[in-house]
Amino acid sequence: MSTKKRILDEALNLFSKKGYANVFVADIAEAVGIKAPSLYKHYKSKQDIFNAILDEMKQSYDRQAAMLDMNGNNAEADAMVFADVSEDGLVKMGMGLFMYFLHDEYVQKFRKMLTIEQFADPELAELFTKQYSDDPLSYQSAMFAMLSANGVLKEENPDVMALQFYSPLFMIMTICDRHPEREAEFIPLIEQHIRQFSGLYSKEKDK
């Protein structure tokens, strides 16, 4: 991997643990295996490194998001997929989202960095809310509206359904960001949550 790219990787790694202000240019250089002044051949300042991380992660997110809304019409394809899969499909989708958010190395580190820096910069606050609240909620709301219209789920407020489905995943994700060792304790709870959610909103009366 190029030195330029390795600088971004190591900087993100350090920023996600200690925050921008507590990481010194010399720390990044050491992690890369060079001396601090050499960094300035690749980036013109510490802030420039931070901005490069931001640009790269924003692009990466937009690529992922574009893949989900394949046809451009929110969640329609997915709703079709899950229309007949029901409970197990919902479990698979929820656990998949949770595991991706929690375990993807870059996604996790970038989220932790945003968590630390969110109150210092309105742009970072917007980014965090978009990626971890607004986008997932609107996507899932569209999906649940579809599943209700298809007769699979009860016809309740789809925004509330999305909130109730997603926020447990979000909250447990923030806990696991702080305490990775507690993940095993929460995995079963998430699955139970999704099955209980499915049972409550399912139109079938065989509960």
- Alpha carbons 197 and 97: distance in angstroms, whole number: 16
Neighbours of 49 (CB within 10 A): 24
We find the least distance from the C-beta atom of residue 12 to its own copies, in angstroms, to be: 13
We find the least distance from the C-beta atom of residue 199 to its own copies, in angstroms, to be: 8
Out of 8, 11, 12, 23, point to the residue binding DNA (CB under 7 A): 23
Out of 55, 62, 156, 204, point to the residue binding its own copies (CB under 8 A): 156
Q: Which stretch binds DNA (CB under 7 A): 43-51, 70-78, 163-171, 197-205?
A: 43-51
Question: Exposed, middle or buried by CB within 10 Å (0-12, 13-18, 19+), for 58?
Answer: middle
- 17, 112 contact by CB (below 8 A): yes
The reply on whether position 157 binds its own copies by CB under 8 A is yes
Out of 86, 133, 138, 150, point to the residue binding its own copies (CB under 8 A): 133
SS (H, E, C) 11-74: HHHHHHHHCHHHCCHHHHHHHHCCCHHHHCCCCCCHHHHHHHHHHHHHHHHHHHHHHHCCCCCC
Where along the sequence are the contacts to DNA (CB under 7 A)?
A: 3, 23-26, 29, 34-38, 40-42, 44-47
Where along the sequence are the contacts to its own copies (CB under 8 A)?
A: 16-19, 21-22, 112, 115-116, 118-120, 125, 128-129, 133, 156-157, 159-161, 163-164, 166-168, 170-172, 174-175, 177-179, 189, 192-193, 196-197, 200-201
